[in-house]
Amino acid sequence: MGIEDILLHDETIFKNINAFDPDYLPENYKYRDSQMEALAICIRPALKKGRPVNAVVLGSCATGKTTAIKKIFEMVERNSEKVVCCYINCQLNTTRFGIFSQIYHRIFGHYPPETGVPFSRIYQKIMQHMVAENKALIVALDDVNYLFHSKNANKIFYDILRAHEAFNGARTGVFAILSDIEFRFALDKNVNSIFIPQEIIFQPYTREELFSILKERTKMGFYPEVISDEILEEIVDKTLESGDLRVGIDLLRVCGNLAESEASRSIDEQHLNEALKRTGPVSLSHTLNSLSENENNLLELIVNFKDENLTAGSLYELFQQKTNASYSSFNRTLDKLEFLRLIDTKFTGKGMRGNSRLIILRFSQDEINKCMVQP
Ligand SMILES: Nc1ncnc2c1ncn2[C@@H]1O[C@H](COP(=O)(O)OP(=O)(O)O)[C@@H](O)[C@H]1O
Ligand SMILES: [Mg+2]
């Protein structure tokens, strides 16, 4: 196709290309009923003139946490005027002022002036309004770990959760969303005893669930018969390997674009291969790059272990020789690798409980080594 054809060609295989966007809210949101229920239970007291229950939402990346919060907030707002739900992306808003500007905007429909007005005035205006209107405020702090770096977390939690001390009748709550189990401990360290949350866990999806979610997404995004179940199965395999549903959604989008750029009416094996070259091991490298020194050390030991059966007990001995780490720190690091879906652990039923766990690497040595070689 010539350049002009590419621009003007108006046949498309995408019914709705936005269905593959990172912030697309799926209409059909399955497998998260119990988590949505748990969130609803936390919100319910706020609808009945009480205080919302604080929650911490935990789960590895792309397990639907952000989607769940946005869905439940939409639902609350459709049904009640008495609760203001404010979703905040902490990756984008890391300061006290930044976060309260978002809350202010949510309530008053415009942002406060960036300069000239002290924080306390903005804070006061928000809380006075909530009390006067007899509304509760729930703030969802998504990817809240970004507040830990700047050491702002405690102040911000304090501002929100202790509003009632200065503003009689203020009813406020926080949902803290975390995609890294390590941060569960960091949260306690960064936010002292004012925050005693309900824990809501988002487990990784199974293969069947991934298949069904991705299939549903193809129905929303593509016209019928654009993609076969065989190709979809392969995409599901890649998704499972990466441990990240976003990889699958992204593959669908890239495959679609490749097929379309060739004016093909369907996605074939070649498009998938090409898409894999482009999106390939990004996710694994990304995960590996995010590891701490200790996590890296532990993973290296696992990768380089020659024998078939590696148990947690013998791994701990190796780890201790290398790093002098305590058993609890070892355990936390191991949990983290499992949480990141780099390894699986399996109980053998023999010996002391934790120590007899078998450690199974979810990737081949080669794959990991390739991604671990730093530029
Ligand atoms: N149960 C589900 N059904 C349909 N799509 C889902 C489901 N869970 C996650 N997704 C999709 O996966 C992607 C990542 O979800 P997201 O809520 O952002 O995950 P998290 O916040 O846990 O990282 C989004 O595109 C979302 O639409
Ligand atoms: Mg998220």
Confidence band of 315 (pLDDT split at 50, 70, 90): very high
CATH number, domain containing residue 108:
3.40.50.300
Ligand 1 atom with the shortest distance to the CA of 63: 22
**What pLDDT, on a 0 to 100 scale, did the predictor assign at position 309?**
85
Q: Is 30 in the pocket of ligand 1 (CB under 6 A)?
A: yes
pTM of the model: 0.76
Domain endpoint, select from 202, 232, 259: 202
Considering the domain architecture, whether residues 240 and 174 belong to the same structural domain is answered as no
Considering the domain architecture, whether residues 255 and 322 belong to the same structural domain is answered as no
CATH number, domain containing residue 353:
1.10.10.10
Per residue in 201-212, pLDDT (tens digit) is: 999 999 999 999
Bigger pLDDT: 369 or 160? Answer: 160
Considering the domain architecture, whether residues 160 and 102 belong to the same structural domain is answered as yes
Q: Which ligand is nearest to the CA of 206?
A: 1
Q: Is 59 in the pocket of ligand 1 (CB under 6 A)?
A: yes
The count of domains in the chain is 3
Considering the domain architecture, whether residues 269 and 320 belong to the same structural domain is answered as no
Domain endpoint, select from 218, 245, 280: 280
- Is residue 285 domain-resident? no
Q: Is 101 in the pocket of ligand 1 (CB under 6 A)?
A: no
Q: Is the dihedral of CA 235, 241, 242, 243 positive or negative?
A: positive
Instruction: Please give the share of the chain, as a percent, with pLDDT higher than 90.
Output: 64
Confidence band of 9 (pLDDT split at 50, 70, 90): low
CATH number, domain containing residue 230:
1.10.8.60
Mean pLDDT of the region 58-73: 94
- Is residue 286 domain-resident? no
Considering the domain architecture, whether residues 317 and 187 belong to the same structural domain is answered as no
Confidence band of 130 (pLDDT split at 50, 70, 90): very high
Domain hosting residue 73, numbered range: 33-202
Mean pLDDT of the region 327-347: 86
Residue 45 has pLDDT above 80, yes or no: yes
Per residue in 232-291, pLDDT (tens digit) is: 999 999 999 888 899 899 999 999 999 998 889 999 999 999 998 876 555 677 778 778
